[in-house]
Structure 1
Amino acid sequence: MHNQLGRRVLTVLATVGILFASVLAGVASAHGSATDPPSRNYGCWDRWGSDFQNPTMAQRDPMCWQAWQADTNAMWNWNGLYRENLKGNHQGNIPNGQLCSGGRAEGGRYNALDTVGAWQMANKSNRFTLTVTDQARHGADYLLVYVTRQGFNPATQPLGWNNLELVAQTGRYAPAGQYQVSVNAGSRSGRHIVYTIWQASHMDQSYYFCSDVNFTG
């Protein structure tokens, strides 16, 4: 009995240690993401990071559920979805169907973010402010903000470059904790993806974020 109890305690402690190490790894490699509207992995972490083993997620937030099951580190490291040395050739290096994972970034850690389905959406008016949070204060050479074209359905179709329209392009930002850009989505309505590229300034490092939104007019 005592041996069984001891093994259970050790198992629990080991699990806690693994999770704590994952959190520390995320902090140690802290970079950033779109936080409003939230990127897919930031949103999953924000909603479920303190309760990620709760089985009700499978019914309440199924796209996050499949992402957590595929790789928990994609959510703990919500700030690390980037590619290096692409020289600004985003479309040439990120294939259609792989935009949300940054072209299978980090050895495929973020692949589940490309999964087609009804991701939880943030309600937004057609004119809104997009926020990128930069934990490491890398600065930005520019932000590119795309929105899916009206008629594209992210719940049933994989995302490709031809599904996107560039709606905002910025200049440089000095290193700071957040960068914001005003976005005009035009006459779009309903479910869409806002696709953001953040080109960091400290080196040739490109970040890619899919944010699911519902345009309310």
Structure 2
Amino acid sequence: MRRKSPLTGRSRASLRRPFQALVMVFAVAVGALAWSAPVQAHGTVVGPGTRAYQCWKTWGNDHTNPAMQTQDPMCWQAFQANPDTMWNWMSALRDGLGGQFQARTPDGTLCSNNLSRNASLDKPGPWKTTTVGNNFSVHLYDQASHGADYFKVYVSKQGFNPKTQTLGWSNLDFITQTGRFAPAQDITFPVQTSGYTGHHILFVIWQASHLDQAYMWCSDVNFG
């Protein structure tokens, strides 16, 4: 015989059912979070810093400062367009390109990796630059340690003006393609160039190893 609660008159079994349902909902939610966390953890080129990373690093803790509009107008327009571009600087990826980077990334969308939410990164203008020499290193930080099948590295042609022109494939010189890298949070590799002066765009493609995920970024460099 079922006993009833002295306060409600309801059976203990009927009281347990809502509690059990709540526990199940909570467990599902926790499981979903645990499953999604690794998917959200990716990386970017932090040296020379990509456009989104540079804006986050410089203004992330001060993104409401009106001085950004005059001191760093390209980061300002990016924050106005979509702050999530900077908050999620590590997530500029597309799945399943199968190495068809040029065929599936139209001119004018290279810096955003053809992601509409990151379109502000394609805008030409006075982006802040990192000074490099003819020979420099590219540093990827990958918080999830995915590893790399390879990196492809390009530099905008001499005479291309990042302040007034959007980047297309014909504006790039191919520099190098690396080999594979084992999973690690920090990957660094050398890049050798010659003949470049002034403001250029360093364009890097990272083909991650864990899945067919392609990341594309623009870093603004000044060849001193």
**TM-score where L is the length of structure 2:** 0.82
Q: CA deviation at 1:30?
A: 2.0
Q: CA deviation at 1:176?
A: 0.1
The structure 2 residue matched to 1:92, chosen from 77, 82, 103, is 103
CA displacement 1:18-42 (0-9 Å, x = unmatched)? xxxxxxx999712001100000000
- Paired residues, number: 189
- Taking the aligned partners of 1:83 and 1:28, their CA distance within structure 2 comes to 12
**Alignment partner, residue 162 of structure 1:** 170
Q: Does 2:202 correspond to 1:191?
A: no
Rg larger for: 2
The structure 2 residue matched to 1:147, chosen from 123, 143, 155, is 155
Q: Secondary structure at the match of 1:167?
A: strand
**TM-score where L is the length of structure 1:** 0.85
**Alignment partner, residue 181 of structure 1:** 189
User: After superposition, where does 1:96-175 map in structure 2 within 5 Å?
Assistant: 96-103=107-114, 105=115, 108-175=116-183
CA contact (8 A) 2:38 2:144 kept: no
- Taking the aligned partners of 1:60 and 1:83, their CA distance within structure 2 comes to 32
- Taking the aligned partners of 1:112 and 1:185, their CA distance within structure 2 comes to 28
Q: Which runs of 5+ in 2 are unaligned?
A: 1-35
CA contact (8 A) 1:26 1:79 kept: no
Q: Secondary structure at the match of 1:69?
A: helix
Q: CA deviation at 1:181?
A: 1.7
RMSD, aligned CA: 1.4
Q: Does 2:44 correspond to 1:33?
A: yes
Q: CA deviation at 1:166?
A: 1.1
**Alignment partner, residue 20 of structure 2:** none
